[in-house]
Each structure stands twice: as structure tokens, then as C-alpha cells.
Amino acid sequence: MSETSITPDLVEFIRQAKDRQEIHDCLLRYTRGVDRHDKALMMSAYHADAWDEHGVAEGDPEAFCNWAIGWHAQAQTHHQHIITNHTVEIDGDTAHAETYYLFLGENREGPPSLAFGRYVDRFEKRNGKWAIAHRVCVNEKAGAFVDIDIPDEWLAAMRSTGPDRRDSHDISYRRPLIRTGGTAS
């Protein structure tokens, strides 16, 4: 057998890698969906009969997504859900994952919020699609932080690539993404 042979171990590795990537893509649909207020994208991370326990709210995908997008719209001018460390144990068509998150919210009132914790998820693969069947959001810490003084001209330059939008007019939806102006420094 040569090094380029397709062995059963290699086939299993490729299947597991594909499943892991599809689960990770599901997590990213959730974070992008909530941050862009794209309910359909956010809901695509869940199976229709899933349940989300977020501590401050819980419910089926429809109820939870309505609550989350509504709460963020009311409480913040913009926000980001960032996922970091991620582990997943796959057993057939069921997977258990733990994914660390960071959350930043620019509040309408008061200082910005910063929170971190973990998403503990049971994923199921149904009809070839991985999605969340049950989620528990473990909120580890939440607080506020103080902005630092940044010169106005720097703030203007930093915001020149925006503005940050929470809808399908955000730059992340632009296709194709092309240079629209500006000069190199």
C-alpha cells in the first residue's frame, strides 16, 4: 500500500473533518445571524424542534431568535458575538460541543458591555444537515468597560470602512467585495 492510498482510516478522518467543519459553519451562521439581525440565518443554526437555554431567556428557535434580535436592537447600537475555543465529540449523527464566546455590545445607555462564557450544544445531523438540537449558554462573566480616548481623526479613519450595519446592507453581504475608493497610506 502506498502513502497515497485511500485507507479506511483516511476515509473516516475526512468524514469527521467534514462533520466538524459543518458544525463550525453552523456556529458561525448563528453568530453572524444574530449580529446582522438576520433571523433566517440565525434560525438555520437550529433544528425546528431545538431548545435554547440562555439564562436570561429560553425557547424554541422562533421564540429565542425573536427575543435575541429584539433585545439587541433595543439595548445596543451594535454588537459582536465572537467564538473562540471549540471542541466537539461526534458519535454518529449526534455531536456534543463546547464553544467559548466573547460578546461586546455598544449599549444605547451606559458603558459598553463585555461578556464571556460557553455554548454547550448537542448537535444532530438530520437529513444530511448538522444543526443545534439543544443549547445551554453558560454565562461566565459580564460587565462593562470604559472606552479609551482616541483622537477624533483616528476614529473617523477607523469608521471609514463601515458603517457597522445590523442588516443585509452591512459590508459583509456585499458581493463582490471590491475596492470603492480611498488611497493607500
Give residue for cell 481623526: 153
pTM of the model: 0.85
How confident is the model over 4-22, as pLDDT tens digits?
A: 789 999 999 999 999 999 9
**Element of type H or E holding 133:** strand 129-144
In a domain, 90, yes or no: yes
Range of the domain at 68: 8-173
In a domain, 20, yes or no: yes
How confident is the model over 139-150, as pLDDT tens digits?
A: 999 999 887 788
Residue 81 burial by Cβ neighbours in a 10 Å radius (0-12, 13-18, 19+): buried
DSSP string, 18-48: HHHHHHHHHHHHHHHHHHTT-HHHHHTTEEE
In a domain, 2, yes or no: no
Domain count, the chain: 1
In a domain, 54, yes or no: yes
Q: What is the CATH number of the domain that holds 22?
A: 3.10.450.50
